[in-house]
Chain A
């Protein structure tokens, strides 16, 4: 069968290079936020199998996951310099583009005879691939194929139909919303951290494949290869066809490099503008696809992490210090804003309400996770008592967290906003107990939020009050939370 290179193959090949390169660079940015990989979901310090950081954390001092971040250079990471928020946005944009290109490619492959180039139809492909491998090793001309030899066919088939779906699946398995709704899916990969490790190894496999692919293009004849994949010329190209193909190859590579330079520079110089652009594409998708997933987590007690990580340093706010010294006896949790019945509740009042207990997996946006038992009051119960007014759409959580350790404390108090619908779900609670005891200060005492299909930054610690509001765009810098404002995160965090 004479298979050529139709336009759709050539175009999808180009966009595949573009989106894959965006995915790799933004993936490196995300890795830098917690540059350790594990095979266990407890992420106990020292249990990682590999680390990509020059930092070694001190013993005997409080440190947090924020301290472990390893900023990478913008030369390799997109955008680099510790920009997890925008790195994630770029990664998700890359995923959307890559999947669209992949779907177009696979559909076109199977509605045309082109699938013959990739899909083996005989078991002979394995001995034939071995023969081709030996030919390469013996430095002999490899067997010709139609259009690929058996080794090429098996490799391309593996990359497109095994490695690529595995990357997509392990990426989805890292979503806290997905893991909360379908825990079995994450278990397929051995857990959340195993999925993260496999995702990383998949990236290494892609890079290894790309290097060998390029080397073999040169080995088989660079100009002929460019003429085929750019112009669709499969016979011996004329000299002018060769010249045009090489020129277009350089031009195409230049376009991809230019996109990377623009994306990196714009993200570093105008992060808010870039956040606004990227979230227009990404946020509606994650709001539609992942945010609706409801948590069904119920981990057995023996899976509770023995040494959970604290994250974030306790507030230095004098009000908080005074309350903490007295074990929060004078603490009053305030519920106000767009409600019919404003509330002021002590910790004893909250404990007097029927409590909800749950053992769930905490997933930090940086990458680590741990399993913790929580007990607290369901937000739905509080909402029933205060009576939200019809125009109320969000819960605005105020905290004592003065972020004194961030930019000299000039960024204001930590806050977050949560959709009313999410707050009403089961496993959306204000926790006052952790692992069978009162919530420790370093984990958010007296109260912390738990929204079990979200990433950790939405689950604010040291909660002071909640206010029901109709719009968050007039608060802070209008992005829906402290991290959303300062670090360019998304207002929703299901992945």
Chain B
């Protein structure tokens, strides 16, 4: 009997974690800009907020150029997105979920993104970047935080894995039901006459 198994190639996990993370990070970044503007702030604020991880509160001063904020903010944002993407795909691989149903992958993405939001906004910011804590009002936490993470970044990661299926053998794709057929075994007959 030929049982086929899901591949867990760490190279594929790394590559697709990066790609998925960057793709999801792009969607998250656009969402963050839109929601920041909708909340009445400057579109550059998300870039300056992330750049402040490195340069501190100076990132919000007029001396810190927009170009520098764009470059530094985008670099850090996509680096973190890729890192979390690798973690996500690695977790899926470790728990045999690379071939999970698409809706489940989206759900996993949302749950994972909630954890990322907790780590980023509730742990990393107050512990490592306390000067940013005052800039996280409720609106920012809600729309640029938990909503954007759970409804955009995470689901985007899940959709990427559902579309690409890293580590899943090609012949599995497109099958909604894995299934098995209960074919009669070789040997004695399996269909017995009525008595």
Question: Which of A4-12, A241-249, A314-322, A472-480 touches B?
Answer: A314-322
Residues on the B chain within 8 Å of A437, using CB: 192, 194
State the CA gap A139–B187 with chains docked (Å): 70
Residues of B within 8 A of A35 (CB): 96
B68 at the interface (CB under 8 A from A): no
Contact B138 A134 (CB under 8 A): yes
0/1 string, A317-331, CB within 8 A of B gives 1:
000110011010000
Contact of A440 with B191 in the complex, beta carbons under 8 Å: yes
A445-B188 Cα distance, complex, nearest whole Å: 11
Taking the closest CB of chain B, its distance from the CB of A57, in whole angstroms, is 4
**A307:B126 contact, CB within 8 angstroms:** no
Report the separation of the CA atoms of residues A320 and B188 in the bound assembly, to the nearest whole angstrom: 8
Contact B193 A438 (CB under 8 A): yes
Q: Does B61 contact A (CB under 8 A)?
A: no
Of residues 136 through 195 on chain B, the ones whose CB sits less than 8 Å from some CB of chain A are 136-138, 141-142, 145-146, 169, 172, 176-185, 187-195
A15 surroundings in chain B (CB, below 8 A):
none
Q: CB < 8 Å: which of A57, A67, A138 contacts B178? A: A57
Q: Which residues of A contact B189 (CB under 8 A)?
A: 324-325, 327, 441
| Interface-side segment among A41-49, A408-416, A420-428 | A41-49
Whether B195 lies near A438 (C-beta < 8 A) is yes
B4 and A58 contact, CB distance less than 8 A: yes
B112-145 near A? 1/0 per residue, CB < 8 Å: 0000001001110110000001001110011001
Q: How far is the CA of A194 from the CA of B127 in the complex (A)?
A: 42
Whether A138 contacts B137 in the complex (CB less than 8 A), given A58-B180, A316-B187, comes out as yes
B residues less than 8 Å from A50 (CB atoms): 100-101, 104
Cα-based distance from A139 to B169 in the complex (angstroms) = 45
| Chain B, Cβ-Cβ closest to A138 | B138
Contacts of B6 in A (CB 8 A): 54-56
List chain B residues, Cβ under 8 A from A138.
Answer: 136-138, 141
Cβ of A187 < 8 Å from any Cβ of B? no
Q: Is B95 an interface residue (CB 8 A)?
A: yes
Chain A to chain B: the 8 pairs with minimum beta-carbon distance, closest first: A46-B177, A324-B188, A54-B6, A46-B179, A57-B180, A438-B192, A54-B5, A45-B179
Whether the pair A441, B190 counts as a contact (CB closer than 8 A) is yes
16 further interface pairs, Cβ-Cβ under 8 Å (given A45-B178, A54-B96): A44-B179, A45-B180, A46-B178, A50-B100, A53-B96, A56-B178, A59-B180, A59-B181, A67-B3, A137-B146, A139-B121, A139-B122, A215-B118, A321-B187, A438-B193, A439-B192
B183 touches A62 (CB 8 A): yes
How many Å lie between the Cα of A458 and that of B34 in the bound state?
Answer: 63
State whether A313 touches B185 (Cβ < 8 A): yes
A380 CB within 8 Å of chain B: no
Shortest distance in angstroms between B162's beta carbon and chain A's nearest beta carbon?
A: 14
Interface centre among B101, B125, B185, B188 (most CB of A within 10 A): B188
Q: Does A277 contact B (CB under 8 A)?
A: no
* Minimum CB distance partner of A441 in chain B: B190
| A49, A63, A442: the one within 8 Å of B101 (CB) | A49
State which of B96, B123, B125, B184 has its C-beta within 8 Å of the C-beta of A52: B96
- Within residues 283 to 326 of chain A, which ones have a CB less than 8 A from any CB in chain B? 307, 309-310, 313-314, 316, 320-321, 324-325
Contact assessment for B183 and A61 in the assembled complex, using a CB-CB cutoff below 8 Å: yes
Contact A55–B3 (Cβ < 8 Å) = yes
Contacts of B104 in A (CB 8 A): 49-50
Q: Are B178 and A325 in contact (CB under 8 A)?
A: no
A139-B125 contact in complex given A61-B1, A440-B190, C-beta closer than 8 Å? yes
Specify which of A35, A50, A52 lies most central, judged by the most chain B CB atoms within 10 Å of its CB.
Answer: A50
On whether the beta carbons of A215 and B123 are closer than 8 Å, the reply is yes
**Docked CA distance A325–B188 (Å):** 6
| Whole-angstrom CA separation of A391 from B165 in the bound complex | 63
> How distant is the Cα of A49 from the Cα of B178 in the complex, in angstroms?
12
Residues of A within 8 A of B138 (CB): 134, 137-138
Complex: chain A residue closest to B191, CB-CB: A440
For A351, list chain B residues within 8 Å (CB).
195
Contact check: which of B2, B96, B137 meets A70 at CB < 8 Å?
A: B96
Distance A351 CA – B194 CA, assembled complex (angstroms): 12
Say whether B178 contacts A139, CB under 8 Å: no
State how many angstroms separate the Cβ of B84 from the closest Cβ of chain A: 17
B96 touches A442 (CB 8 A): no
Is the CB–CB distance between A327 and B182 below 8 Å?
no
> Closest residue to A218 on the B side, CB-wise?
B123
CB-defined contacts of B2 to chain A, threshold 8 Å: 58, 61
- Binary contact track A151-182/B, C-beta < 8 Å → 1, others 0: 00000000000000000000000000000000
B residues near A324, Cβ cutoff 8 Å? 187-189
Q: How far is the CA of A100 from the CA of B90 in the complex (A)?
A: 38
Inter-chain contact B185/A314, CB cutoff 8 Å: yes
Which residues of chain B from 1 to 25 have a CB within 8 Å of any chain A CB?
1-6, 8
Least CB distance, B52 to chain A, in whole angstroms:
15
Cα(A441)–Cα(B184), bound, Å: 9
Residue from the set A44, A138, A139, A347 with the largest chain B CB neighbour count within 10 Å? A139
Contact residues in A for B74 (Cβ distance below 8 Å): none
Most-contacted residue by chain A among B121, B136, B145, B178 (CB, 10 A): B178
